[in-house]
Amino acid sequence: MKTNTILTGDRPTGRLHIGHYLGSLKNRVKLQNEGKYKMFIMIADMQAFTDNARNPEKVRNSLIQVALDYLSVGIDPSKTNILVQSQISALNELTMYYLDLVSVSRLERNPTVKSEIKQKQFGQSIPAGFLTYPVSQAADITAFKADTVPVGDDQEPMIEQTREIVRTFNNTYNVDTLVEPKGVFPPKGQGRLPGIDGNAKMSKSLGNCIYLSDSADEVTKKVMSMYTDPDHIHVQDPGKIEGNTVFTYLDAFATDTQKVAELKEQYQAGGLGDVKVKRYLNDVLQEILEPIRNRRAEYEKDIPGVYDILKKGSDAANLVANQTLSEVRKAIGVNYFD
């Protein structure tokens, strides 16, 4: 029976938050524990450098934080290969070969890249590495012959770009060396969590996150400050649940759906204050986050041990990526000395 291969990962630009947990981390643990997949999870530090090259300390410091977040949510290095992108040298050579198969205009049309360029306000000073990072992602995916790539909805254009590169490579060199991946997307409505301030996106740069590593007191403080219905001034006032961040979070995280439905009904009718709803949400989040915090505290006692996990994962990943690179060189015909 064929074992499917998964590649997924994150840019190390800060600690991971509950939006990451809802959108990807929780599902990664589920897929890992199903035992049906060969799993690679990449800390994509080279991709992080595409817009942080002048702040390398941010990337270096974040790398260990992301590793701790992975381990604390239940990513198990005995079942999942956790690797560091910059330590897999084959990825650089694969990227160079693929760049010659993609036009600049195609890269500029990528909707995700266009959106991120606008968001980051690069203007005319777009780093070349940032414009071409979809090609680097294609190298990441194909190096491990991943056929399954769990991503957010906004990453669908990146998967399509990888598929195009795979087809172009295989057709150009008349081989079937590279594997065409498919994207696996979160259930509708679970791909993105709003920030605690009501902003449409929870974002490290906007400072509106609840981090997986936040203390219990920090979580409580953030929950009690969350955006609700600005017109719900008095307890007896009817309140709106649409756009009310507290209820959005309850829909995402609470398992007692009947209680949430009752709270919504009371809130909309009037007679239910924001504080009571926030306290319930706080209880829900604390129950999820406490075991994560406890596991993290254990791993934090042995940071060299965490780096050792990353090194072992990267060493094992190198063996796989180098095999793919050897096949790519043979297909192109640059295996001169074999």
Q: Say what the pTM is.
A: 0.94
Banded model confidence at residue 153, pLDDT cuts 50, 70, 90: confident
Q: Report pLDDT digits (tens) over 215-257.
A: 999 999 999 999 999 999 999 999 999 999 999 999 999 999 9
Mean pLDDT of 186-208: 81
Cβ(226)–Cβ(196) below 8 Å: yes
Distance of CA 45 to the CA centre of its chain: 13
pLDDT of residue 307: 98
Cβ(127)–Cβ(53) below 8 Å: yes
CATH of domain 214-298: 1.10.240.10
pLDDT of residue 159: 94
- Tell me how many degrees the CA angle 327-138-84 measures, rounded to the nearest 5: 90
pLDDT of residue 230: 93
DSSP 8-state assignment for residue 87: G
Q: Where are the domains of the chain?
A: 4-192+303-332, 214-298
Calpha distance 263→260 (Å, rounded): 5
pLDDT of residue 156: 87
Q: What percent of the chain has pLDDT over 70?
A: 98
* Of the options 3.20.20.140, 3.10.450.630, 3.40.50.2300, 3.40.50.620, the CATH number for the domain spanning 4-192+303-332: 3.40.50.620
Residue spans of beta strands (DSSP E) within 181-288: 182-184
